[in-house]
Chains A and B, each alone.
Chain A
Amino acid sequence: MPRPLGITSLRILGAIRDGIAFGLEIVRETGMPSGTVYPTLGRLKRRGYVEAHWEDQDIADGESRPRRRYYELTSEGREALAAGAARVASLAAELSRGAVGAEEST
């Protein structure tokens, strides 16, 4: 696997883990600024960890709003998230030096 993912990328992948999300939802979920979220999404897409697709025009028309672009994890994205979460967990364990409550990784 190429370079391991940073915390920002992991948090974004985590925010879309359970299905699909559009940008604003990720911004709200992570609390990160939009100027960080969107370029990171672009980078994750380029690495093949997320896929983007446009929602049906009909749905948007039905709610009379512009259509949205949704992001979804690919299987590579899931793997990368799992590996990253494990790495973070072991790092947390190392930092707290055996303190109780090491987090469980998915």
Chain B
Amino acid sequence: MRTSPARWARLLIRLASALVPRARREEWMDEWRGELAALHAERRKGSRGLPTPLGFAVGALPHAIWMRMDGWAIDGLVQDIRYSTRLLRKAPGFTVVAASTLALGIGANGAIFSLVNGLVLRTPQEIAEPGRLVQIARSYETDPRWDNLSFPAFRMIREEARTLSGVAGYSPDPFVIGEGANTEQVAGQYVTGTYFDVLGVRPHEGRLIQPADDVEPGAHPVAVLSHALWTRRYGGDPGVIGEVISVGAQPYRVLGVAPPGFVGVERLGSRPEIFIPLMQHPGYRGETLFEHWGASWIYLFGRLADGVSPEEAEASMELVSARLREAAPVNEGIEILLASGVGLDPRDREAARDLSAILSLIVLVVLLLTCVNVANLFLARASGRREELGVRMAMGAGQGRLTRQLLTESLLVASLATLLAVPVILVVDDVLPALFPFPLSVSVRADLRVFAFLATVGLVAGILPGIAPAWVSARSDLCEALREGAATGTPARTRLRDGLVMVQLALSLGLVAGATLLGRSVMNAQSADPGFDADGVVAAVIDLSSTGRYDRVQGTRLFRAVLDRARETPGVRSATLANQMPLLGGHSRASASPVDREEVSFEAEYVVVAGDYFETLEIPVVRGRALLGAGQEPERVVVVNEALAAMFWPAQEPLGQRIAAQGETWRVVGVAGDVQMRSLRSRPNPAIYYPLGHAYSGSMILHLATEAGTGIGAAEARRIVASVDPQLPVATVVDLDSAAAASMRETRTIGFLVAAFALLALVLAVVGLYGLVSYSAAQRVREIGIRIALGAEPASLVRLILRRGLGIALAGIALGLLVASGLGSALGGLLFGVTERDPVAMGTAAMVLLAAAGLAAWIPARRASSVDAAVSLRD
């Protein structure tokens, strides 16, 4: 339409006019209307060298901004800023203390926001239209969950899902790259040929894995490198493309490099550095995985077809689920679920949201505290400036003008504080991931959004502390202010300062109580019984699956040899191999059911063990016997834990019962105590222990229980493995004690943060109370002098002054207990063995506050009571 640009131009001018000061707006609009009409007239005449109406109207915006600034200049805003700057420069101590206090609050908020930003808000730049991606997962009507899928399921979903334009999957795995001394273990992924296409990722160099690279098992030894690996290990040399590198001791040709910043679709977990076609997966338990409905190992996602809404796609999964249920008996009751977007699965989203909410709450409290503290500083200063303000009012400065002057000051201090907070934000990417309880695959580097947030927080932090003195000055009486020697503050100011200190005490009590709750949780967890005793146990991961040199038979033989060697090592009390480590990685589950009752099928912990597992980890065998050695079990027998026994045979003798699992039948020979396999905070899962020889896992963990003081550790574990196969990579060596500690890392991290903030809050509150009491004591110096002259006892004077300080402290503590119980509920999920309103934590916090407050009030009271009557009366 021809009229359309003109209409846009008029709209733009009308919008820009909002910036123009009201008194000049009408005139301004008239001028632009006239100019625009002239432009149209000229263009109609066909004159040359004219701008387009829209391009011309864009100029109205800078003009309007200029008008606004000009308006401010006339109103004296510039003058205000100059005056405030001069004042603040004249009081450098005040400025530095106020600005650095606010910087703490602003920086803490910015840091936590950049975490939330990286984890939840930021959409990956390398992925095309991430909003059209959906996560695909498996659940059951009877057992809702969010789980990965088998390869046949992937194939069927890809073919049946008409509402998705593409379906792709991946399976995270560690890879050993390089040879000899140059060996390095990196995180990586097996990916389907559709992976990069569905994500819409473009190569940085060379090309990426395509469907033709993922057709036949074992026929595609090609790899894509992450940008990080390419620059770190290969110096960013494009010549490496087309070269052959060693991956898991096998030759792989490098196809290309993924774009910088591409870390797959997950935001938690380790950053994948190498991508290998899914068809190269060697399989585990000695079986190929590609026809196996029961082995779920692929995480799936898809892209919505054009014009399809997430709800339509979700609904279409009904049909896909039905087809899957028909396809294999193991899919009984299966449901395919979708969730919009990628990055965090729905459970992790919930966890991330909770964690973000707790952290945001804490830093918000800290921000409030710092604002209150700075408001108090301003108030105290305003007391000293009453004469100045009085004079300015007498000279004709309006109340509005004075208020703006005071606000300008606090905004200037906040701007300075925001600048001070910027370096804090810049190091967040290096510091925060180390403090965060989960590994982060995404970067939490500050971006434009973080800085915009920082500016907003800075603005709030500038307005909040400025309101208090402005409010008080609006209530002060001109004459009273000018009257010489009017020593006591106005009632409004005194009440406000009392109130602010009370709020400070309350907030810090809340934080101290929160820190105590979390501290007690960590202590409880350390003394909790996880069902095993890991004292002095060293563990080393032996991963055969990535080498490709071992099949099931050879692998079993190797594991036996390692176990024998370990048992012969002096100082080793007992040794065992298992595919899972309590509280640490290697978790795997597999379906099992009592024979003849397949309807109670359950995915129990799948633990393959060899050697003295129960003895090494000091897990009690409560009934029957333990499993024998490595492969010494003549029959298919298993040990189950108490949770599984109670689930399968609630009222029967579990010994001698038969279990159907892995397509075989197994006889129960023993029942072991429950072990916390995944986390100290969760309930123990039902578990089945299978003997190596009848069951197999290509990745086993060697556990060594050592005699105290033998010094056997990581090096010895590596030596034992190397003595059997020198080329075998021993990935990670850990001791289980630290694993138990790591399980409570989340609670510990947040506890640490809360404790740090609580300490900060306590110091701020105590300083505030101290200032308040000293100030009021100083104002009563004359009164105190008279009392002393009349023979008052120093002790009674101390009581007199102390009374007011303690009154405020007690009110603050009462208020604080409410804050603390609110914070306790918010922390609920992180607590272990304490209730949200744990009386010990609340009592401790109240006592700490009372003691600190008492000290803060006593020092100035004591000093005031020792004034010399003659001196105080003379002044």
* Residues of the B chain whose Cβ atoms lie less than 8 Å from the Cβ of A22: 34-35, 38
Q: Does A68 contact B (CB under 8 A)?
A: yes
Instruction: Tell me, yes or no, whether A39 is within 8 Å of chain B by CB.
Output: yes
**Contact (Cβ within 8 A) A69 B59:** no
Residues of chain B in range 354-377 having any CB-CB distance to chain A below 8 Å: none
Task: Give the number of chain A interface residues (Cβ < 8 Å).
Answer: 23
The residues of A that contact B31 with a CB separation of less than 8 Å are: 23, 68-69
**Is the CB–CB distance between B50 and A28 below 8 Å?**
yes
B551 an interface residue at 8 Å Cβ cutoff?
no
A33 CB contacts on chain B under 8 angstroms: 51, 55, 58-59
Within 8 Å CB of B42, what residues of A?
A: 24, 28
Across-interface contacts of A38 in B (CB, < 8 A): 59-60, 62-63, 66
B66 in contact with A42 (CB, 8 Å): yes
> In the complex, what distance in Å separates the CA atom of A14 from the CA atom of B50?
19
Cα distance A22–B33 in the bound complex, in angstroms: 12
Chain B proximity of A102: nearest CB distance (Å): 29
B61 in the interface (beta carbon within 8 A): yes
Q: Find chain A residues with CB under 8 A from B47 CB.
A: 28
Query: Within 8 Å of chain A (Cβ to Cβ): is B427?
Result: no
A43 beta carbon closer than 8 Å to chain B: yes
| A36-B62 in contact (CB<8A) | yes
Q: What string of 1s and 0s marks CB contacts (under 8 Å) between B29-73 and chain A? A: 011011101110110000101110001111111110111001000
Q: How many A-B residue pairs have CB under 8 A?
A: 73
CB 8 Å contact bits of A1-43 with B (1 = contact, 0 = none):
0000000000000000000001110011001011111110011
Instruction: Give A37 to B56 CA distance when docked, in angstroms.
Output: 11
- Say yes or no: B30 contacts A67, CB within 8 Å: yes
Give complex CA distance A104, B546 in Å.
84
Q: Which residue of A lies closest to B73 (CB)?
A: A46
The tally of residues in B whose CB lies under 8 Å from a CB in A reads 27
Most chain B Cβ neighbours within 10 Å, of A33, A35, A54, A65: A35
Partner of B38, one of A31, A34, A68: A68
Asked whether A23 and B70 contact (CB < 8 A) given A28-B49, A34-B59, A38-B63, the answer is no
Q: Are B37 and A42 in contact (CB under 8 A)?
A: no
Give the docked Cα–Cα distance between A68 and B62 (Å).
20
Residues of A within 8 A of B58 (CB): 33-35
Other-chain residue from B33, B56, B61, B67 in contact with A27 (beta carbon distance below 8 A): B56
Q: Taking A28-B49, A42-B67 as contacts, is the C-beta distance between A65 and B34 under 8 angstroms? A: yes
- Does A98 touch B at the CB level, under 8 Å? no
Interface of B, secondary structure class, is helix
Which residues of chain B have C-beta atoms less than 8 A from A101's C-beta? none
How distant is the Cα of A68 from the Cα of B34 in the complex, in angstroms? 5
Task: For B50, list chain A residues within 8 Å (CB).
Answer: 24, 28
Judged by a CB distance under 8 angstroms, whether A62 is at the interface is no
Nearest B residue (CB) for A28: B49
A37 to B38, CA, bound (A): 16
Q: Which residues of A contact B67 (CB under 8 A)?
A: 42
**Using an 8 Å CB-CB cutoff, how does the interface string of A34-72 with B read, 1 for contact, 0 for none?**
111111001100100000001000001000011111000
Q: What is the bound-complex CA distance between A69 and B63, given in angstroms?
A: 15
Which residues in A have their C-beta under 8 angstroms from that of B63?
34-35, 38-39, 42
Q: How far is the CA of A51 from the CA of B303 in the complex (A)?
A: 63
Flag if A66 contacts B49 (CB, 8 Å): no
A24 touching B66, Cβ below 8 Å: no
Take A33-B59, A34-B59 as given contacts and tell me if A66 and B39 are in contact as well, using a CB distance cutoff of 8 Å.
Answer: no
Most buried by A among B38, B47, B56, B63: B63
Measured CB to CB, the closest approach of chain A to B8, in angstroms, equals: 15
Tell which of A34, A42, A54 touches B70, judged by Cβ atoms closer than 8 Å: A42
Closest to A38 in B: B63
Cβ–Cβ contact B38 & A65, under 8 A: yes
On chain A, the residues within 8 Å of B70 by CB distance are 42, 46
Within 8 A of B (CB), among A66-100: 66-69
Chain B contacts to A: CB under 8 angstroms: 30-31, 33-35, 37-39, 41-42, 47, 49-51, 55-63, 65-67, 70
Given contacts A34-B60, A36-B59, 13 further A-B contacts (CB under 8 A): A24-B50, A33-B51, A33-B55, A34-B51, A34-B55, A34-B59, A35-B58, A35-B59, A35-B63, A38-B63, A42-B67, A66-B30, A66-B34
Give the 8 A-B residue pairs with the shortest CB-CB distance, closest first: A34-B59, A35-B59, A39-B66, A38-B63, A35-B62, A68-B34, A66-B34, A69-B31
Q: What are 18 pairs between A and B in contact, CB < 8 Å?
A: A24-B35, A33-B51, A33-B58, A34-B51, A35-B60, A35-B61, A35-B63, A38-B62, A42-B63, A42-B66, A42-B70, A54-B30, A66-B37, A67-B34, A68-B34, A68-B35, A69-B30, A69-B34
